[in-house]
């Protein structure tokens, strides 16, 4: 049984259709990277899976259960956690306090304040520092750690490397490797194509709300992925040629 099955999912904002008939499936412990240009619908897809946005069509099935009608807080309790774009930390709270906010709503499991800081060593020296005073990398690590405090089965990460210095991206992804090694299933949005190809076992390229290329990260050449990313070589009907 898959951890996540997205079945012909569509979602939008008024007349704007941001996600169009997307179907995806993730097995336990798998990492799938969503790649595509700005405005392709990747973030809306993640938010819809997390329950933060209502779909107009299709289903979200989590561990064999249809959760399409479940609100976001119920999905968190079931084991789905979203790290949103922009991190959205409580700026006046410390790193530890931001982590403990999620602990209240979390499930029992491996992830505690101490195990999060062990997995994200860059937080060890700033554990008591207010979030407003953190670097971008420290903020992103805190946001991911906060999601882990709910002990999720499925971790959704939106724009992991956005706005971070290269050294901070390296630190964050090094820690995510530890999370992945622990068996957490991940669906992540990543603008850095090279990083996505190195980290994820599978990729899905999203263009104008549709998945136009999907498979193992090693199955496609960089040229094929780039063409799908920008919609090059498409037929007049809009499908990949």
Cα(91)–Cα(95) distance, rounded to whole angstroms?
9
- Give residue 187's pLDDT: 98
What is the pLDDT confidence band of residue 221, given thresholds at 50, 70 and 90?
A: confident
Residue 146 lies in a domain: yes
Cα(158)–Cα(229) distance, rounded to whole angstroms?
17
Residue 237 lies in a domain: no
Calculate helix-pair angle for 95-105, 136-148, nearest 10 degrees.
20
pLDDT above 60 for 235: no
Number of domains in the chain: 1
Share of the chain above pLDDT 70, in %: 95
Instruction: Encode pLDDT of 154-170 as tens digits.
Output: 999 999 998 899 999 99
Cα(241)–Cα(151) distance, rounded to whole angstroms?
42
Give 23-82 as a 3 state SS string: EEEECCCCEEEEECCCCCCHHHHHHHHHCCCCCCEEEEEECCEECCCCCHHHHHHHCEEE
Decide: helix, strand or coil at residue 144: helix
Residue 98 lies in a domain: yes
What's the CATH code of the domain at 166? 3.40.50.300
pLDDT above 70 for 4: yes
- Give residue 222's pLDDT: 86
Instruction: Encode pLDDT of 93-136 as tens digits.
Output: 999 999 999 987 667 889 999 999 999 999 999 999 999 999 99
- What element of type H or E holds 155? strand 154-157
Instruction: Encode pLDDT of 30-64 as tens digits.
Output: 999 999 999 999 999 999 999 999 999 999 999 99
Average pLDDT, the chain: 92
Residue 240 lies in a domain: no
Residue 235 lies in a domain: no
Burial of 234 (0-12, 13-18, 19+ CB in 10 A): middle
pLDDT above 50 for 227: yes
pLDDT above 50 for 240: no
Residue 238 lies in a domain: no
- Give residue 28's pLDDT: 96
Domain with 134 in it? 4-230
């Amino acid at each position: 049984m898959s951890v996540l099955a997205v079945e012909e999912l569509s979602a939008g904002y008024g007349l704007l259709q941001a996600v169009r008939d997307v179907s995806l499936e993730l097995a336990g412990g798998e990492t799938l990277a969503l790649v595509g240009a700005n405005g392709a619908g990747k973030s809306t897809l993640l938010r819809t899976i997390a329950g933060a946005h209502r779909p107009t069509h299709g289903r979200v099935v989590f561990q064999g259960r249809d959760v399409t009608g479940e609100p976001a807080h119920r999905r968190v309790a079931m084991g789905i956690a979203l790290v949103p774009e922009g991190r959205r930390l409580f700026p006046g709270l410390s790193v530890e306090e931001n982590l403990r906010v999620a602990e209240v709503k979390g499930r029992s499991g491996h992830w505690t304040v101490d195990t999060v800081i062990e997995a994200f060593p860059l937080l060890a020296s700033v554990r008591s520092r207010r979030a407003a005073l953190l670097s971008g990398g420290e903020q992103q690590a805190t946001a991911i750690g906060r999601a882990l405090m709910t002990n999720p089965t499925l971790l959704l990460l939106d724009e992991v490397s956005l706005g971070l210095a290269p050294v901070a991206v390296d630190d964050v992804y090094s820690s995510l490797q530890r999370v992945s090694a622990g068996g957490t299933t991940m669906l992540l949005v990543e603008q850095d194509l090279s990083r996505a190809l190195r980290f994820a076992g599978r990729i899905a390229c999203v263009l104008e709300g549709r998945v136009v290329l999907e498979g193992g990260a090693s199955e496609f050449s960089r040229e094929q992925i780039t063409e799908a990313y920008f919609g090059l070589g498409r037929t007049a009907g809009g499908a990949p040629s």
